[in-house]
Chain A
Amino acid sequence: MEFPAALFPSYFTPGPPREEGGPAPVAGWGEHGQVLEAGPGRRQAQPAFVPRRGATGERWEAAEAAAVPVLLPSAGCWIPSPAPQDILYRSGLCRKLQAGKSGATLDFAKQLGHFFVDHPEDAFGSLGRLLHKNFYLGNAKLKRPARNSTIRMTALVEDINRLEARRGCPRQHLASRLRWFSHLCRDWLFEVPLGLLADCLHEELVQQWSNLLFDDSLTGGALAWLPSEDGKTSVGRLVHPGGQAMNHLYFQDVVLEELPHARGSPAQFELSGRIRQVAAARVDGQDFVGVRSDYHCGVWRVPGKTGAAPAPLQVIRTDVPASCLTVSPHLAGELSVCTQSGTVYLWSVETGLQQLRHDPQTMFFRDHSPWRWSDFTAHPRVLSCADRTGLQCLDARAPKRCHFDLFKVGEEAGCQQGERVVLPMYLGRAHPSQYLVTTQFSMYVLDERLPLVPVLKWAHMMKAPPLFAHLMPGKPGRSHKVLLGASRTQELLLLQYWDSFWGVSSGGSQSACQLAGTPQKLHSIAECLQHLPTQLPHHHHLVQQRLSAPAAGLAATLQEDGPCKSMLIFQLSEAGDVFCQRLIHKAAQPPAPPSRDEATTAPGSSPLFEAPASSPHGLGTVALWYRRWLRALSRAWREPPRHTWPPSLSQRRLFTRRDLEGPAGPSSLQKQMRQRLRQAMQEGSRIQCWEPLALQPPPLPQTLELAGGPDALSNRLTAAWAGDWDQWWEDRTSFSVAQRQRALRERRRRQKRAQGHRSLSASFTSSLTYQSELSELSDVGPSALSPGRTPILSQEGSPAAGGPPLRSHPPSPVPDEALLSSQSLRCRGIPKERRKTLRDYLSVWAEGPPEPPELPGSQASQLCFPSSQSQLSSASQPRRKRPRMGF
């Protein structure tokens, strides 16, 4: 593309902006800006001039009086995001106090109260249970003995209510009882320390409030239109998020007939986060769709042929929320990603991520916003990156060395004070080197060949900053169209510009960029409310709430059907609704008599929904659509909310059925016990000791020499002499358990130190296994037996125990290498991530400190992995049926 032979005159002053800023409601009207000589007029001696703004543009008129839904509302309720009145403090006194100030007061106390009421278990569960008996909520007077340990809460509640009634009254002494109570309880009543809870809540409130004021996570919009390959057939694909949490991605075929409507069922993907942005670009006949949620970005490829299925290509995860994802229009499978930590990546599906820049600071002056953006430029290796203060271009091949400033919020571009970049967009499809930058006040068109000086500037006068923009390039000789969209106010503005006009003075070469025609406001979703059939008041309210949800995306397409040209504009709301409106191109004609819509315009009164005579389809079709949409919506409401019962967790996946099953029948021990119980009841005697084998004299444990010191024997003998030999044995074994636990802990500590830092998930699992090791140990502790003892026990135990004869395969005391080799572990069905834990665990036993009893290796593995192979569990069955040591 040639560079314009002459540009519109402008001053160039470096430095911060001088003009005082502020929203200016009409700043964009009535200005030509500058003029440029376009060479002598036709056959006239006089020169002709063209203005920067004010040239005639194309005429587009809305075909319908309001936007029409494209898709039926999906089932499931939409949960509206918080409104200002949910967060703000509304008190008469406070409003007066605040009248002078601009700051808003967040209703902190109310939110904290909500938390206590909604989550009492989390707020004061344990102490509530403990003190349950000591609080009395009745009206009656408390009796003497109870009064000592019980507080009558009724008075306290009355005091609270009274306080509520005269909120903000400074007469504090009336509330002395409350203060006394809070003073007494503040420190111990709450499950979560109150200070911590308050900090977290306050942080969240501030975050919610700033999101309400301006939510930049939606920047770019989550709606994309993929036209058909040749651009001629009237079928395209709409890519949009949906579902209750907006975490489902849909690729929906849409037929563009009179009213666009869905065809077939959409391709659907469930993602693990709310979809914030959907970006698309077409490279070599294929569409690449990038999807951004807070911590994940993904890319899909959609073949150009209609009906071809979209294929997910790659997903990346970020530690910090991503703020931008753009798809390269030059190279297939290339994207750029920015995170809120100030990092810019070039992401190629083939070669992965390349970090281009990491700078938590903003570029040109200090601004607190962590928002970053990045897009492509005319050079496929050069990326632009933006923050609130401006734009820079970086060469991906040498990002540190090669860069230049493209746009700066400053006097260079004639900015106002307080102006900030809201959305940059590469206009490559219209002109390879042009760029759109919107701020909350103006829109700029920049040419990267002439950085810092905007080739076009216009105050857009929108009430909310334009977070969405869409470009519809015009064919040569026709204007390009740009749509700007705001989120909260749902505003939509259509602009036209010429990237060049044919200047005669420049010898027929291209001349500078011009804004054409006047900006045009398009229908917003909320405006269609007045055209819907009358409903019950509460339904009306719900519909109104739904329709006025903030906009979340914008897409458009131009359609040429012979002489008839039309433009279709899709708008997505946060509730997941997609609405569409059609504009029809009117060929240049002499100024028409005042059109009808101009006649029907008392301010505030709604233009009646009458079918314009010019429109081929009138009230009928549109009204039908509205009715269908409403019906589907009310059906979605009527559907019972799915989570009225407390959420339950399926255990099936945690344990196998066999694990959950108890022993098939009552074990021999149980049988024995029952028998004894029955016998004792018949005899009317007592059971002094539950020891099953207490009837028989306990055999001398023969294995204790292993650990016993020189005086262990004398200890034992003394104990036996004194008659509490049992006690001695129990002490002995529990001592060794404690010793082993200590050893394990020590070992754990050593391991941790050796490994240094690990990933979060790794440390999570390891600490889990640590816990389970300990608990399992304490479970089996007393039953720790020497291998030599096992046969004796099985001999003594009832032979009807049904266990496999243990003698046939005596477990080896030390886990052998074969057991620990990963191959053998794998073939036993032990998941990979657990093998290491198992090996660690077993090696504790292998190298263990001098402990008397060694646990059989197979038994240990069974302890850790209840769901492991049958061979292992069958080998360890005697544990459950141990006749001797069941305490």
Chain B
Amino acid sequence: SSNEHKLNFKKSKEACLSYIQDALLQKQWKRAAEFLTCYVESLEKDYSREHIGPSEMIWRIGTEILWHHSQSRMKEFNCFMEQIKTLGVKRYLKVCLEHVFHLLCNGQIDEAYQNLSLAESWRFGEQTAIQDKEIKLIQAYRGLLDYCSWSKQKKILLEHGEDGFEDLAVEQEMHSYFRKAAVNLKEIIKTPGVWDVFVKCYVDLLEFYGEHNEARQVLNEYAYNSKFPANPNAHVYLYQFLKRQSESKKSLISALKILHDIVPSHELMIDFNTMLQKSKKRKKRQLGLEVIFAALDYAGWKENAKAWSCLARQVKQIVISEKHLNWIKQEWNSRKDWWPDFHFSRYLAKRNWQENKSLSHDKALVAGILLGKDCKYFKYVSHKGCKARLKRFRMLKKFVTRHNPVYLRISG
């Protein structure tokens, strides 16, 4: 009966698909391609109501094969994509985007741009939410390519400008790129998302044309709008912008303070710490200590020599001045039950000494102050250092021994 035939057809379709899958997972592109030619028949009787239909499957499998097949050329790939685009109306924009991505990754920027323009003008029935998102992305990528052309023109212009030669046509072209890019980029960064590339380009454009206020507004929105994800880069871009604008220390510090609150392990915390340490206000210096302690809590910072030298310097300062020992005490309180094992074990002393002498010097200083001169880490490093007749380590030993009572006050 026809029903049975349908079932059998379905079965053989599934079997064919599993062979293709098997071949793909074993990188047997040629074999997969042969099966795919059989699978194309499945388009004829498409009764499936699954959310990935046969046309999408053929697109995905075909693309994958053409990416890897030893005999595939770009021309064939483009041809395949064009056919697929006519096949699946629902996924048209998605297919266009992926096609563009592939062109971009292969350096065919102009073709990609053409495809983007074509896709942008595509209309079919009512737009779904997904299609709306895709069309915005298409526009944004077009904006990005416009920006690339703009910066290319800018470069030419600047080079020519150095020669004292001005080209009006080039300048005009550049402006038109600017307008096109700005419109599209501005659009996408309004919707919540991660738009690092687009924001950067847009701000660059605005800054070039002196629209600093708008640039600041865009960056503030990107960083502080609660509908956007907590993206550390948003704060970094704002901080870099403020720095470029040579804003006051205060605003820089407040920008970094927020970054510190959301990502205490960000690499900018070193800059933040140095900035705070230089400050004359006690509160800021205390914050500096807090920042560097918090950064060193993270596994990724364990062997960061810069961070340890920052901490060692500040701890040394505090111990010498004998003021604000309670700062150290406060920070140490929540860490004293796990930092000794995490940072100052004998195993680490050995390894740090072998790998980085200056790191082990700074760590030993901190360990000596925090845990006293009898702690394993300090003992091992100072012993090794003195044995190797390094002056630095002899000084270190002297310093820690002299200030040993501090340890009792901190841990008490």
Say yes or no: is B348 at the interface (Cβ < 8 Å to chain A): yes
Instruction: Say yes or no: B342 contacts A51, CB within 8 Å.
Output: no
B196→A6 contact, CB < 8 A: yes
A723 adjacent to chain B (CB < 8 Å): no
B21 & A25 in contact (Cβ 8 Å cutoff): yes
Cβ proximity bits A496-530 to B, threshold 8 Å, 1 near / 0 not:
00000000000000000000001111000000000
| Known contacts A26-B52, A29-B63, A433-B265; is-contact A380 B299 (Cβ 8 Å) | yes
List, in ascending order, chain B residues with CB within 8 A of A381's CB: 297, 338
**Alpha-carbon distance A24/B54, docked complex (angstroms):** 11
Known A25-B21, A379-B299; judge A12-B192 contact (CB<8 A): yes
- Is the CB of B62 closer than 8 A to any CB of chain A? yes
Contact indicator per residue, chain A 3-40, by CB within 8 Å of chain B (1) or not (0): 11111111111000011111011110111111111000
What is the interface size of chain B, counting residues whose CB is below 8 A from a CB of the partner? 76
Task: Decide: B64 and A521 in contact? CB cutoff 8 A.
Answer: no
Cβ of A2 within 8 Å of any chain B Cβ, yes or no, is: yes
Q: Which of B24-32, B161-169, B401-409 is the interface stretch?
A: B24-32
CB closest chain-A residue, reference B346: A284
A54, A380, A598: the one within 8 Å of B31 (CB) = A598
Known contacts being A54-B67, A450-B231, is A7 close to B196, with CB within 8 Å?
A: yes
Contact A25 B299 (CB under 8 A): no
Closest to B348 in A: A284
Cβ of A307 under 8 Å from chain B: no
A352 at the interface (CB under 8 A from B): no
- Assess whether B230 is in contact with A450, with CB atoms less than 8 Å apart: yes
A351 to chain B: closest residue by CB: B337
> A452: CB under 8 A from chain B?
yes
Does A403 belong to the interface (CB within 8 Å)?
Answer: no
Residue of A nearest to B94 (CB): A31
Please name the residue on chain B nearest to A509 by beta carbon: B267
Whether a CB of chain A sits under 8 angstroms from the CB of B205 is no
A397 near B229 with CB under 8 A, answer no
CB <8 Å contact, B230 and A1: no
Within 8 A of B (CB), among A73-115: none
Q: Is the CB of A3 within 8 A of B266?
A: yes
The answer to whether A34 touches B51 (Cβ under 8 A) is no
Provide the main secondary structure of the chain B interface: helix
Task: Tell me, yes or no, whether A41 is within 8 Å of chain B by CB.
Answer: yes
Is the C-beta of A699 less than 8 angstroms from some C-beta in chain B? no
Cβ of B194 and Cβ of A26 under 8 Å apart? no
Q: Which of B20, B27, B348 has the most CB of A within 10 A?
A: B27
On chain A, the residues within 8 Å of B19 by CB distance are: 603
Query: Which residues of chain B are within 8 angstroms of A453 by Cβ–Cβ distance?
Result: 194, 229, 231
B300 and A597 form a contact (CB under 8 A): no
A48 close to B (CB within 8 Å) = yes
Indicate whether A3 sits within 8 Å of B233 (C-beta atoms), given known contacts A432-B300, A453-B194: yes
Contact pattern, B 232-244, Cβ under 8 Å of A = 1, otherwise 0: 1100100000000
- The answer to whether the Cβ of A310 comes within 8 Å of any Cβ in the partner chain is no
Known contacts: A24-B52, A380-B342. The answer to whether A30 contacts B148 by CB under 8 A is: no
What string of 1s and 0s marks CB contacts (under 8 Å) between A200-236 and chain B? 0000000000000000000000000000000000000
Q: Is A285 an interface residue (CB 8 A)?
A: yes
Q: Is the CB of A30 within 8 A of B63?
A: yes
Contact partner of B17 among A7, A26, A30, CB < 8 A? Answer: A26
In the complex, are the beta carbons of B194 and A332 less than 8 A apart?
no
CB-contact partner of B102 in A32, A41, A428, under 8 A: A32
Q: How far is the CB of B366 from chain A (nearest CB, A)?
A: 17
> With A and B bound together, what is the CA distance between A428 and B299 in angstroms?
8
Check B347–A285 contact: CB distance below 8 A.
yes
CB-based contact A378/B300 at 8 Å: yes
Q: Which residues of A contact B197 (CB under 8 A)?
A: 6, 9, 36-37
A interface majority secondary structure: loop
B61 near A26: Cβ-Cβ < 8 Å: yes
A: contact size bracket: 35 or more
> If A12-B192, A518-B27 touch, does A26 touch B107 (CB 8 Å cutoff)?
no
B61: A residues at CB distance < 8 A: 26, 29-30
A19 to B50, CA, bound (A): 12
Cβ distance B326 to chain A, nearest Cβ, rounded Å: 20
In this complex, what residue of A is CB-closest to B95? A30
| Interface contact B152-A29, CB-CB below 8 Å | no
Min C-beta distance of A392 to chain B, whole Å: 15
Interface centre among A6, A26, A36 (most CB of B within 10 A): A26
Q: Pick the residue among B67, B196, B229, B342 that contacts A9 (CB under 8 A).
A: B196
Binary interface profile of A, 420-462, with partner B (CB < 8 Å = 1, else 0)?
0000000010011100000000000000011111000000010
Assembled-state Cα–Cα distance A748/B194 (Å): 71
Judging by beta carbons under 8 Å apart, are B299 and A330 in contact? yes
- Complexed CA–CA distance, A50 and B57 (Å): 24
Tell me the bound Cα distance from A397 to B294 in angstroms.
14
**Would you give the 0/1 interface string for A761-802, flagging 1 where the beta carbon is closer than 8 Å to chain B?**
000000000000000000000000000000000000000000
Measured CB to CB, the closest approach of chain A to B100, in angstroms, equals 8
Contact check, B300 vs A26: say whether CB atoms are below 8 A apart: no
Q: Is A697 an interface residue (CB 8 A)?
A: no
Q: Is B11 an interface residue (CB 8 A)?
A: no
**In the bound complex, CA of A379 to CA of B302 (Å):** 11
Residues of chain A with a CB closer than 8 A to B345's CB: 284, 332
Question: In whole Å, how far is A3's beta carbon from the nearest beta carbon of chain B?
Answer: 5
Query: How far does the alpha carbon of A21 sit from the alpha carbon of B267 in the complex, in Å?
Result: 39
Partner of B22, one of A19, A35, A330, A521: A521
Q: How far is the CA of A20 from the CA of B52 in the complex (A)?
A: 10
Q: Which of B23, B26, B194 contacts A8 (CB 8 A)?
A: B194
Query: A41-B107, A520-B27 are contacts. A591–B228 as well, Cβ < 8 Å?
Result: no
Which A residues are in CB contact (< 8 Å) with B263? 3, 449
Check A449–B105 contact: CB distance below 8 A. Answer: no
CB < 8 Å neighbour of A521 from B26, B35, B101, B230: B26
Docked complex Cα distance between A598 and B338 (Å): 55
Complex Cα–Cα for A242 and B238 (A): 58
State in angstroms the CA–CA spacing of A55 and B304 once bound together: 30
8 Å CB interface, A178-193 against B: none
Per-residue contact bits, chain B 172-200, to A (CB 8 Å; 1 contact, 0 not): 00000000000000000001111111101
Please tell me which one of the listed residues A6, A332, A431, A592 contacts residue B200 in the complex, with CB atoms under 8 A apart. Answer: A6
Does A176 sit at the interface, judged by CB under 8 A? no
A594 at the interface (CB under 8 A from B): yes
Instruction: Give the residue name and chain of the A residue nearest to B104 (CB).
Output: A49
B101 contacts A32, C-beta separation under 8 Å? yes
Centre residue among A3, A27, A412, A520 by max chain B CB count within 10 A: A3
A554 to chain B, nearest CB (A): 17
A9 lies within 8 A of B140 (CB): yes
- B309: shortest Cβ distance to chain A, in Å? 18
- Residue of A at shortest CB range from B71? A591
- Which residues from chain B contact A35 at a C-beta distance below 8 Å? 101, 104-105
Residues of A within 8 A of B293 (CB): none
Q: Mark A691-715, 1 if CB is under 8 A from B, else 0.
A: 0000000000000000000000000
Interface residues of B in 246-304 (CB under 8 A from A): 263, 265-267, 297-300
**Residues of A contacting B70 in the complex (Cβ-Cβ under 8 angstroms):** 591-594
With known contacts A11-B191, A597-B28, A2–B105 Cβ distance under 8 A: no
Q: Does B79 contact A (CB under 8 A)?
A: no
A646 to B15 CA separation, bound complex (whole angstroms) = 50
Q: Does B393 contact A (CB under 8 A)?
A: no
Cβ contact within 8 Å between A18 and B129:
yes
The 9 residue pairs across chains A and B that have the minimum distance between CB atoms: A30-B63, A432-B300, A521-B25, A30-B60, A284-B347, A32-B101, A591-B70, A29-B64, A49-B104
Q: 27 A–B contact pairs at CB < 8 A?
A: A4-B233, A7-B194, A9-B137, A20-B51, A22-B51, A25-B57, A26-B20, A26-B60, A29-B24, A29-B63, A30-B67, A30-B98, A31-B63, A32-B102, A44-B107, A54-B105, A380-B338, A381-B338, A433-B300, A449-B232, A450-B231, A493-B25, A518-B24, A520-B26, A520-B27, A594-B70, A598-B28
Given A50-B105, A331-B341; 13 other pairs, CB 8 A cutoff: A6-B200, A7-B233, A11-B191, A30-B60, A30-B61, A30-B67, A37-B197, A54-B67, A378-B299, A381-B297, A453-B194, A461-B21, A597-B28
